Amino acid sequence: MLTVAGVHKVLSTWLTTFGFDQLRLLFDRLGYMRFLVASDAVYFGNYPLLDALHTSFTLSSFRGNFLDLAALANDLEMVRYLHELGHNGCTTAAMDAAAKCGNVNMVEYLDTHRSEGCTAHGLALATIHGHTAVARYLQDKGLAKYEKNWLMAALQRMRTRQN
């Protein structure tokens, strides 16, 4: 099975060998590579590649929840970059990931610049991981409320893992 790191290694080798100029040919022959190349660039913060993709193809034309992926990588600068380019691949998973990472600056940015919001899952993850500033922000802004049953189940799972 190929891992994220494995895909990254293969793509990095390909790009070193063939360069950005051959991306159009790659995408014409293997359409699914658009998503893989863009995802890899977002997750690993490859701004030169993203700039090349945007110049050649317009990054907002790429399908995928890339803002979610940038948030999962805990990369606020990438979230900003994608948002400013007009990429709309964002769901509540972005703020949930930022909450889980305890990245209050990213949570604030997403709250200010995006409309997707957060879920109770994100609030519970922030709480479970001890990110009180994030949990407080989400509650104070009315972005998420605790769902008693979900939180209790999550806490029980956490206790079970610790034993």
**Residue-number span of the structural domain to which 31 is assigned:** 1-63
Residues 13, 89 share a domain: no
First to last CA, the chain: 31
pLDDT in tens, 134-153: 999 999 999 988 776 766 67
Residues 139, 106 share a domain: yes
Measure the CA–CA gap between 20 and 128, rounded to whole angstroms: 42
pLDDT in tens, 58-87: 998 999 999 999 999 999 999 999 999 999
Q: Among 25, 41, 63, identify where a domain stops.
A: 63
Residues 79, 154 share a domain: yes
Q: What is this structure's pTM?
A: 0.87
Residues 91, 25 share a domain: no
Residues 7, 57 share a domain: yes
Q: Among 23, 44, 63, identify where a domain stops.
A: 63
Q: Among 45, 63, 81, identify where a domain stops.
A: 63
Nearest to 125 by CA among 145, 163, 96, 89: 96
Total domains in the chain come to 2
Query: What would the two tokens of residue 139 be?
Result: 């509650």
Residue 73 sits at the vertex; the CA angle it makes with 27 and 107, to the nearest 5 degrees, is 120
**Mean pLDDT, the chain, as a whole number?**
93
Q: For residue 157, what pLDDT is reported?
A: 73
Residues 89, 50 share a domain: no
